[in-house]
Chain A
Amino acid sequence: SQTIHQWPATLVQPVGSPLSLECTVEGTSNPNLYWYRQAAGRGLQLLFYSVGIGQISSEVPQNLSASRPQDRQFILSSKKLLLSDSGFYLCAWLTGNGNTIYFGEGSWLTVV
């Protein structure tokens, strides 16, 4: 079956520390992968998307970066976290026929 997982689920990090959130997809190949952030309120902001290994598109300039070292792995990183990086981060993938985007469980990041 096709599944998506991300971790860690919860993270508390000091300002200036690095960040690494991981996302993996199972049961599919060459998926389109996405990182979203949901800050205060309910809107989702698209951060990065990737259509293949090593291919990353950034939607907004920010303190974060993304990498895709393997076909079904997508990593969200930061070298030095800011307080404003706090939020709920979601990984997602697009089904092969372009129909639907499915989301992971989410990762709560609190920068203190």
Chain B
Amino acid sequence: DAKTTQPPSMDCAEGRAANLPCNHSTISGNEYVYWYRQIHSQGPQYIIHGLKNNETNEMASLIITEDRKSSTLILPHATLRDTAVYYCIVRAKNNQGGKLIFGQGTELSVKP
């Protein structure tokens, strides 16, 4: 699975949009971009995933560049409870082996 690069930390004001970038320049054609987040001492929580089109769900939006070499996770109205480490992962959809390579992620701090 391809490697991803994320900034180690970011701050965001409560109520504002949080935009978390991720570079995945070596992504291959069958690999999806997944986002998870992990609050301390809890299991990673699935947020969203996409292949090449932008995606939106009740938690976030995912914007993938046309060349698919980078993406941005958007939390439209960040709350204090969104403070967590956010992981960007690329993975082949039918990879039954379950290998998820979690990098260091981005530690997002939402401040009042």
Bound: A57/B97 CA distance, A: 9
Q: Looking at chain B, what size class is its interface with the partner chain?
A: 20 to 34
Binds A, one of B14-22, B42-50, B74-82: B42-50
Q: How far is the CB of A66 from chain B (nearest CB, A)?
A: 12
Residue among A44, A49, A59, A98 making CB contact with B44, cutoff 8 Å: A44
Q: How far is the CB of B68 from chain A (nearest CB, A)?
A: 18
Q: Give A68-105 interface residues, CB cut-off 8 Å to B.
A: 88, 90, 92, 94, 98-105
Q: How many residues of A contact B (CB 8 A)?
A: 26
Contact B46 A100 (CB under 8 A): yes
Given A51-B96, A92-B98, A94-B98, are A42 and B34 neighbors across the interface (CB < 8 Å)? no
A46 at the interface (CB under 8 A from B): yes
Bound: A104/B41 CA distance, A: 11
Q: How far is the CB of A109 from chain B (nearest CB, A)?
A: 13
Interface residues of B (CB under 8 A from A): 34, 38, 41-46, 49, 85, 87, 93-100, 102-105
21 sample A-B contacts, Cβ–Cβ < 8 Å, listed by A number: A32-B96, A41-B104, A42-B102, A43-B103, A44-B100, A44-B102, A46-B97, A46-B98, A46-B99, A49-B96, A49-B97, A90-B43, A92-B98, A94-B96, A94-B98, A98-B93, A98-B96, A100-B46, A103-B43, A104-B43, A105-B42
